[in-house]
Amino acid sequence: MKIIITENQLQWVVRSINKKRSIQESIYDSEKMYSKEYINSVTKTAPKYVKKLIKNLPEYDCPNRPGVCVKIPEMIFQYIKGNF
């Protein structure tokens, strides 16, 4: 059995999948670990009070890679995702 779809239908499916993925990635998880290096790089142009928060975060060993990880507060998560 063949299923034939138009190019517009395929584009709609791809947009729908990307939208769902985007929504799932934008949910804050207080237990998620982020690489300290990544957090520093995406907040280079952040206001001083955001950088001060990052500087004072407790550091942990990363569970799946070498380096230092941090758990970020929701405000920093929102800043990174562009909802700040």
Q: Is 58 exposed, middle or buried (0-12, 13-18, 19+ CB in 10 A)?
A: exposed
Domain coordinates of the chain in residue numbers? 31-84
pLDDT band at 4 (very low <50, low <70, confident <90, very high): confident
Q: Which of 31, 28, 33, 36 is nearest to 79 (CA)?
A: 28
**Mean pLDDT score, 9-35:** 77
- The pLDDT of 21-48, averaged and rounded, is 84
Give residue 23's pLDDT. Answer: 55
Question: Which tops the pLDDT comparison, 34 or 5?
Answer: 34
Q: What is the pLDDT of residues 54-66, one digit of tens each?
A: 999 999 998 888 8
